[in-house]
Amino acid sequence: MSTQLDLARCVGGAAVILLLQTSCAAPKESGTASKAPAQVQQVVDVCSNPTAASNASLAQSDPMSFGWNLFLSINCPAQSGPAQPVLWETWKPNYAVYLPGGKPPAPWGTLPPRVLLDQPEIDGFTLLDKTGKPILLEIRMNKPTFDYVVQRQLYSKAAQLKFFNDPTSAPIAFPTDSLEIKAAWLILTPGDPRNSGYYTIQSSYVDGNGQTHNILAGLTALHITSKVVPNWFWTTFEQVDNQVRTEAPATVLIPPDVQKFNDMMHAALPPGSVWRNYNMRGTQIAFTNPDGSPTILSNTQIETRFQLSSSCITCHDLATRGSATQGRLAFIQMANNGVQGYTGALGSPSNHYTDAFDKPVCYNGSLGAFTDCKTPNPTVVYKRMDFVWSLREAK
């Protein structure tokens, strides 16, 4: 099933897409921040605009509108009826794709029991809530993403090494309707009145001691990436109470124009919609701003310690495959002031890359790959994998 679903089922009978006439700039003041101006008051059923969640032009010209539309679209119920999972919950989780021994995954539509992951963030940090419980994670891919992984056998480390070693291998290039998400979950106490502010599920997780816990979990963050544009479209959402419920500070605040857009979306959604409790933190479609400064996009639940240098598009462009002995290209830097992410385009002179053994490597724009920095005749040591970091889990 695609993201082109009936949003009316998603938000309780009043599906919304805010249609901006111009750009995503903040509207002029018109009384209150929560009241949408006239040009964004149109509320339409997504069935009358079936390409809204795959509109490359909208993604580039009005990324905030596109980001919210994408968020609502993938959060539609997968089927009609009560207590249905939302669309992205029917997608393949990573642990059902990258199997021991590089075995082929089960066909699409076959899902294992749901298990949330008690694992650290990409920099090794483990985020806890205010009661000391871990924030849990999961990563999922839609059918076009899954089909491409299966077609190229990229679920297998052996197939990825063949891609690296064979100079005739076609570049990894996912189809334009590919989507991936990363979700973060808060462990909730049943009966807590605050639970109504979350999208909730019954699930389980395995702790560090190997014990399985059955839990009620609330969605606390959602990263979304779409191949609707060549460098993918990036957006991230958070539940509004994250700084009250978790140990993650908001080091980077939501920009005022983005928050105003959130307020307009909340006002347009039905009063009972749980999605009124979620804020978009921003979007990303380019490595740099018009002034040349690097774009930044972070989520307090997923990039807790390096929000000031978190760039989804840059980090994911470091998704690569090296030789069997090369290890993984480093995608986090350590500086005097702590963990630092990479920002800007790969060719930025301020970015200095290293392999898994802290040996310098260089990005070669003409080759579109990372080399051993030798001149002339550099040797390719890492090939890019089209921004898809989940491929690193191949076994």
Domain boundaries, the chain: 7-393
Task: Return the pLDDT at 245.
Answer: 97
What is the dihedral angle through the alpha carbons of 303, 308, 313, 316, rounded to the nearest 10 degrees?
-40
Chunk the chain into consecutive blocks of 10 residues (it has 395) and report each block's average pLDDT, rounded to whole numbers: 38 36 32 37 37 78 89 82 84 98 97 96 95 97 98 98 96 97 98 97 93 97 97 98 97 96 88 93 97 96 96 97 88 80 92 91 95 94 97 95
In angstroms, the CA 259 to CA 367 distance is 40
Cross-strand partners of 294: 288
Please name which of 92, 96, 88, 102 lies closest in space to residue 146, comparing C-alpha atoms. 92
Task: Return the pLDDT at 51.
Answer: 54
**Residue with tokens 């199997």, as numbered in its chain:** 99
Q: Name 76's Cβ contacts closer than 8 Å, sequence gap at least 6.
A: 5, 6, 7, 9, 10, 86, 87
Q: Name 335's Cβ contacts closer than 8 Å, sequence gap at least 6.
A: none
Task: Return the pLDDT at 154.
Answer: 98
- Written as six digits, the tokens of 174 are 């996912």
Task: Return the pLDDT at 30.
Answer: 31
pTM over 0.85: yes
Task: Return the pLDDT at 80.
Answer: 67
In angstroms, the CA 55 to CA 202 distance is 34
- CB neighbourhood size of 227 (10 A): 24
- One-letter amino acid identity for 94? N
Tell me the C-alpha to C-alpha distance, in Å, between residue 168 and each of 165, 240, 252, 367, 391. Answer: 9, 49, 44, 13, 20
- One-letter amino acid identity for 157? K
**Residue with tokens 């920099």, as numbered in its chain:** 123
- Written as six digits, the tokens of 100 are 């021991």
Task: Return the pLDDT at 63.
Answer: 93
Helix, strand or coil, per DSSP, at residue 389 = helix
